[in-house]
Amino acid sequence: MCLKTPVNKTSDLASFTAQNTAFLARSDLTPRVCNVCLNSEKVPHNWKGFFLYFGNVLVKQGRSETAKIVYQQAKLSPTYASYPCKNILERNIENADARAKGFGNPDVGQQPQMTNVSGAQCMMCHQTR
Ligand code: HEC
């Protein structure tokens, strides 16, 4: 949505990263677009949280390869080093294949816990410290 272009379903890491890097370098964005797409005072980790959330949804769908490309985009944020949910993101990258497989289990009780409904569900974007 921020890029105003559909996400290519066969996107590779290099081209998606280049698109997002170019977006972050733009200086012509309106405040409205900045509020929704970038980090702000109210949402200090919006960029990272968005890609963490998006990757989690893809893993839930079993699409771990695409999820890994999406998760990597969080790292483009200039404040990634201080991201409080960095450990979750990195663990989810590492475990993407296993988690995607786990979500395929017909016994819902045996499926992995969804990050998007854990304590991180709001804090992945809104945590201030
Ligand atoms: C993917 C990142 C993301 C996640 C996850 C997220 N938010 Fe937000 N939230 C935002 C953005 C971006 C805005 C600001 C939108 C704007 O300014 O137009 C916002 C705004 C808000 C606001 C309004 C703040 C204000 O003072 O205007 C509240 C309240 C809020 N979110 C609560 C929540 C809650 C509760 C959750 C968890 C259920 C949550 N958010 C999860 C990104 C996120």
43 lines ligand 1 (CB under 6 A): yes
pLDDT number for residue 125: 94
Q: Which residues of 58-86 are buried (b: 16+ CB within 10 A; e: fewer)?
A: bbbebbbebbbbbbbbbbebeeeeebebb
pLDDT number for residue 26: 93
- Separation between Cα atoms, residue 100 and residue 98, nearest integer Å: 5
50 lines ligand 1 (CB under 6 A): yes
Which residue has the CA at smallest separation from atom 34 of ligand 1? 122
| Mean local confidence (pLDDT), 111-120 | 86
47 lines ligand 1 (CB under 6 A): no
Task: Report residue 81 as tokens.
Answer: 């080093």
Amino acid in position 29: L
65 compared with 115, residue with greater pLDDT = 65
pLDDT number for residue 59: 96
122 lines ligand 1 (CB under 6 A): yes
| Mean local confidence (pLDDT), 94-113 | 95
How close is the Cα of 81 to the center of ligand 1, in Å?
22
How close is the Cα of 8 to the center of ligand 1, in Å?
26
pLDDT-above-90 percentage for the chain: 76
